[in-house]
Amino acid sequence: MQDYLVQFNNISKFFGKVIALKDVTMKLRKGEIMCLLGDNGAGKSTLIKTLAGVHKPDEGEIIVEGKKTIFDSPKDALDMGIATVYQDLALVSLMSVTRNFFMGREPLKGPPFFRTFDIDKANKIAAERMGQIGIDIRDPSQAVGTMSGGERQCLAISRAIYFGAKVLVLDEPTSALGVHQASVVLKYIVKAASQGLAVILITHNVHHAYPVGNSFTVLNRGKSLGTYAKKNITREKLLSMMAGGEELNKLEVELQEMNRSSTN
């Protein structure tokens, strides 16, 4: 068990009679990128919110660094080092890069009771952190709205890492990006993982997931179809599982039988 940084064992979540998740298991090591794949309605959003402390699982257990854990709120998950970057990024377009980077956790200076925002230190940290990704921020006071989609995504990820994330949950980080911007974000994710961060990459895009992932968990209608190491599964097999390949094959057989019946 100590091998794994975080484990989600047989997680189930029900909303009344609706089974949103049923017996989903994921185990994540330090430095690993696990890609969570699934089409719309597969249960990805519910699982994200369960990992982030928004929902409590109705069944199963969460184990972080060998200890069984119950998250009562997103703050509990964050305090345990599980940070989630949602699709909306939680960035304010009219605020500066620096203000968005710190967002309520600004460095302060001055004597007790008279402390003020240390803007020079904050600007330096924000510029340095973005520079480490390869994004040149000439003026950290520029509005986030002037940045590209890929740069904003990297800002949100960099912020989570700076404030101590051990496990980073990324919700469709490349879904609204072009090819170049998506490659910038994916390269940064790989770099972060190489430095010890564990990453759960949620996506429906196998072509983005396969090059960067170490393992792949496929969800379908709230159930896991299994977790596969990269060496044990091909891109084509993942695409087939995502598209419901077995169901399509059954449908094709049924249609052929119907055609035979109609011609007899």
Per-residue pLDDT at 124: 94
Q: Which long-range contacts (CB under 8 A, 24 or more apart) does 183-187 make?
A: 184/133, 184/134, 184/135, 184/150, 184/151, 184/154, 185/150, 185/153, 185/154, 185/157, 186/211, 186/212
- CA pair distance 35, 74, nearest whole angstrom: 22
Single pTM value for the model: 0.85
**pLDDT tens, 117-150?**
999 999 999 999 998 888 888 899 999 999 988 8
Domains and CATH numbers, the chain: 6-91+165-233 (3.40.50.300)
Q: What's the pLDDT score for residue 257?
A: 74
Burial class of residue 16 (count of CB atoms within 10 Å of its CB; 0-12, 13-18, 19+)? exposed
pLDDT tens for each residue of 56-90: 999 999 999 989 999 999 999 999 999 999 888 88
Cα separation, 24 vs 223, in Å, equals: 6
pLDDT for residue 249 is more than 80: no
Q: Over 70: is that where the pLDDT of 35 sits?
A: yes
Output the pLDDT for position 246: 55
Q: To the nearest whole percent, how much of the chain has pLDDT over 90?
A: 63
Q: Hey, which residues does 200 pair with through a beta bridge?
A: 34, 169
Residue 209 reports pLDDT greater than 90:
yes
pLDDT tens digit sequence for 3-31: 899 999 999 999 999 999 999 999 999 99
Q: What is the pLDDT of residue 262?
A: 67
Percent of the chain with pLDDT over 70: 93
Beta-carbon count within 10 A of 39 CB: 14
Q: 162 to each of 50, 58, 78, 114, how far by Cα in Å?
A: 23, 32, 13, 26
- Per-residue pLDDT of 171-186, as tens digits, reads 989 888 888 888 989 9
Is pLDDT at 1 greater than 50 in this prediction? no
